[in-house]
A and B are shown apart, each in its own frame.
Chain A
Amino acid sequence: MLKCRDVPAEAEALLDGELSLGRRVALRFHLFMCGNCRRYLGQLRLLLGAVPQMHGQASDEEVDQVLKRLHDHSH
């Protein structure tokens, strides 16, 4: 039987597309029974969805510097 303690690793394998059918079924069954782990998976999915944006946008200066070097390079 899958324990809550095992769920974080299994949840990541699920989100990475690394979980076999058998392990997926075991995880689904645990989630069906356990609200804490349902919450954990939902919030982990939310968190990982936010990672691409965590560095924020470049400043005008940074963008200008990249474009200037690009311009210098092509001339």
Chain B
Amino acid sequence: MTSLHDNASELAQLRNGDEAAFARLVRAHHRALLALARPIVGESEAAEVVQIAWIKAHAALKDFEGRSALRTWLSRIVINEARMMLRQRKREVFLEDMQAEAPGPLVDRFRSDGHWSVPPVNWHADSPDSLLTREELADCLAALLDSLPSNQRALLELRDSDGMPFDEVCNMLGVSASNARVLLHRARSRLFALVDHFEETGEC
């Protein structure tokens, strides 16, 4: 299972240039890195950006100091490659308007006095792993992630999937902290509402 906690012996193997360990690294993170590149450079260029990032990461791994999670480190390389690609093509960042739109999907779940009218149901999962063991729910979540506006996707990928600190996310994407907060809140609320609905009805 992928997580933001790196295993020490796996790290040592990676630094020593162990190819099997590198293949495991690619397997664990490749799809998430594609999902990060897509909202920034677009679908057609994302694979190339991530490929170049893997080549650079492979060369730089021996110097990886472990000050951040591997996933966070990899995502920085992907973002840098994505920006370089955009510069070469003289293109702007692909992100949809960074302005926040109307309020998120949880607003209609509160009464006018501010209390919950439709409180969250009790989810069956008791760990992040067990949440995703139900294949149908995992598919629904993956589809929702793909359907989010690109600005929300980029923020959610960097902050929640790749574990980048909030300030760095704002810098990387050139978005104000207040806009980032609103957009992240929208994305997270939609994920929450989807799981909550699934837990209640068994479908999404």
Q: Give the interface size bracket for A toward B.
A: 35 or more
- CB within 8 Å for A8 and B195 given contacts A57-B27, A63-B23: no
A63 and B123: CB pair below 8 A?
no
Q: Cβ of B141 < 8 Å from any Cβ of A? A: yes
| Per-position 1/0 for A33-52, Cβ under 8 A of B | 00011011001101111111
A8 and B2: CB pair below 8 A?
no
B2 and A57: CB pair below 8 A?
yes
Main secondary structure of the interface of A (DSSP, over half): helix
Q: Which of B7-15, B84-92, B186-194 contacts A (4 or more CB under 8 A)?
A: B186-194
| Nearest opposing residue in chain B for A48, CB measure | B160
Q: How many A-B residue pairs have CB under 8 A?
A: 131
Count B interface residues, CB 8 Å. 59
- Other-chain contact of B54, A37, A51, A56, A70 (Cβ < 8 Å): A70
- How many Å from the CB of B33 to the closest CB on chain A? 9
B55 and A69: CB pair below 8 A?
yes
On chain B, the residues within 8 Å of A4 by CB distance are: 110, 114-116
Main secondary structure of the interface of B (DSSP, over half): helix
- How many Å from the CB of B169 to the closest CB on chain A? 10
A53 and B123: CB pair below 8 A?
no
- Other-chain contact of A52, B119, B125, B161 (Cβ < 8 Å): B161
On chain A, the residues within 8 Å of B159 by CB distance are: 16
B142 and A54: CB pair below 8 A?
yes
Residues of A with Cβ closer than 8 Å to B? 3-6, 8-9, 12-13, 16-18, 36-37, 39-40, 43-44, 46-58, 62-63, 66-67, 69-70, 73
Residues of B with Cβ closer than 8 Å to A? 1-4, 19, 22-23, 26-28, 30-32, 34-35, 51, 54-55, 58, 71, 104, 106-107, 110, 113-116, 119-120, 122-123, 125-129, 131-132, 138, 141-142, 145, 156, 159-163, 166, 181, 184-185, 188-189, 191-192, 195-196
